[in-house]
Amino acid sequence: MSAAEGPAGPYVVGVDSSTQSTKALVVDVATGEVVASGQAPHTVTSGAGRESDPEEWYTALRTALAQCGDAARQASAVSVGGQQHGLVTLDAQGRPVRPALLWNDVRSAPQARRLVEELGGPKVWADRFGSVPGASFTVSKWAWLAEHEPEAVRATAAVRLPHDYLTGRLTGEGTTDRGDASGTGWWASATETYDEEILGRVGLDPALLPRVVGPGEVAGTVQDAELPFSKGTLVAAGTGDNAAAALGLGLHPGTPVLSLGTSGTVYAVSTRRPTDPSGIVAGFAAAHGDWLPLACTLNCTLAVDRIAALLGLDREAVEGGGEATILPYLDGERTPDLPHASGLLTGLRHDTTAGQLLQAAYDGAVHALLGALDRVLDDDADRSTPLLLIGGGARGTAWQQTVRRLSGRPVQVPEARELVALGAAAQAAAILTGENPAAVARRWNTARGPVLDAVPRDEGALERISGVLRGAAGLLEGE
């Protein structure tokens, strides 16, 4: 992502405020070169609840920007990509009423189920909102807060998402974007407006919500004189982390992404508004105007690493052959929808090796990921397009080879790592140049990386795993 002649300017800042930390990159608009970076951590509570102090996010942002030095002062625009779904409640002075409820706070699962039923079932939600809400969605969290902490609701004068909060600290304005708004459960993708019926059901005044800034619009200018920005620095709309990563990759519609992290995520940009009543595909909006259907698996790198540890093996110590099948559903599973499942091993023989068992765990995890991908992609999507492999597992040889073998498709591993921050930087650059931010990222060549050729798809392994899934349905579904 660098050019031989070096950075030419102007500069922009892209921010990734994730669950655990905030990162800032200063990027040259002309070349895409990262000229400076900084990072600072957050703290998150443990237990059933997952909460974080929004003030900490802003302190971390200031620290990360300070680490960028003079380069940040030369930036002409900034944009924030942030963790999705989190509920931030502010009082009349703009201070947090209580810690933010984060995306992975599952206490609101009963409220999510009730809201789905009250509005008429999953199909109504999918048709109107593009997604069927779960515990992660902001509307469920607000319903939980209203039920358990009514005094906090009464004290709330503004409701924000994490990226909204940081953008608001920069500009002094209350704004969001369609990408992040689409994960709330109160922004209807069918009309691209806040839905008054659901807001009424959960007792949320729409006046408390931020203005939705359109693609390419400016959210404001930096107002905090203590930040290392010059006066008049533009602030882009920002977006949620998945939409920012899609911008960071410069995705064309139909290009599939597999993100290999603790959990697995698959998505692709689409020109068609998603409406999946099963709830497996979240019909998010893309930050630049299209759509971003997305599906998750709960068990990915962490589950496979756990099985490697149980076997006393390095994570790369896989062996081919054998008849063993492992469904590594150590935390239940979301795709397929088996929330009460546990891990399952079958097909063990006297000559089965530990390496074959480890390979079976990889196969089981990738089988679930590819099943989720089939639901995400449009029917007419080109199945020969390389799969973009990102996330912590993407550089693992065993992960790469397993994805190739079970998908039958070429695999590309982008060299760029900070894709959320790069996507935010591309969004900031776009308000300076007038380009589509995905086009900016393509000009920066952010998806550049080795392409591994397709190999014949292992139909036998896929059918064996699918057969185990069918045969063990009763066992896997039991509570």
- Give the pLDDT confidence of 302-351 residue by residue, as tens digits: 999 999 999 999 999 999 999 999 999 998 888 888 888 899 999 999 99
**Tell me, what amino acid is at 128?**
R
Taking Cα atoms as reference points, which of 423, 398, 326 lies closest to residue 14? 423
Query: Which of the residues are catalytic?
Result: 241
CA-closest candidate to residue 218, choices 251, 177, 160: 177
Instruction: Compute the distance between CA of residue 389 and CA of residue 108 in angstroms, rounded to an integer.
Output: 32
Tens of pLDDT, residue by residue over 375-386, are: 898 877 787 889
Query: How sure is the predictor about 11, in pLDDT bands with cuts at 50, 70 and 90?
Result: very high
Q: Nearest Cα to 35, choosing from 58, 17, 9?
A: 9
* Residue 39 phi, psi dihedral angles, 5° rounding: -155, 145
pTM score of the predicted model: 0.90
Other CB atoms closer than 10 Å to residue 470's CB: what's the count? 8
Query: How many angstroms separate the CA atoms of 78 and 335, rounded?
Result: 36
Helix (H, G, I), strand (E, B) or coil at 271: coil
Tokens of 216: 């390419």
Tell me which amino acid residue 235 is. Answer: V
What are the helix (H) ranges across 342-456? Answer: 354-376, 397-407, 419-433, 437-444
Please list the residues that pair with 291 across neighbouring strands: 270, 285
Q: Which two tokens stand for residue 58?
A: 């802003």
Q: Give the pLDDT score at 4.
A: 42
Q: What is the rounded CA–CA span in Å between residue 425 and residue 61?
A: 15
Are the C-beta atoms of 316 and 398 separated by less than 8 Å?
Answer: yes
Q: What is the pLDDT of residues 12-23, one digit of tens each?
A: 999 999 989 999
Judge whether residue 3 has pLDDT over 50.
no
